[in-house]
Structure 1
Amino acid sequence: MMALLFLLFAIAIGLVWIQRRGLAMLLFAGSMVLSVAWYFHHATDSLALSF
């Protein structure tokens, strides 16, 4: 999943480079939403620790 996020951000940067600013901003915003969702997925996961 992390590789997909990095790939999406890289594509967004590439789109800015070739002057596709609107599409790049849309892809960047989608990537940020996925990043936050991935964060909350892991932040709310309970740890199976036994001491």
Structure 2
Amino acid sequence: MTDASCDVVIAARQAHPHHGPKRMAQDRQPRFPTTNAATVWRTLKAAGLT
């Protein structure tokens, strides 16, 4: 993932802490088509947000 998409995922998690990686990936598909649940989860884990 690019830095921009990582920043978007982290901001989305902070805004919606109840959304899981699957939903977050689906919400990001229009802007970041290569985003999937596994990469969202890894990004959240690296940021300490899981």
Instruction: Specify the structure having the higher radius of gyration (Cα).
Output: 1
**TM-score scaled to structure 2, two decimals?**
0.36
**TM-score scaled to structure 1, two decimals?**
0.35
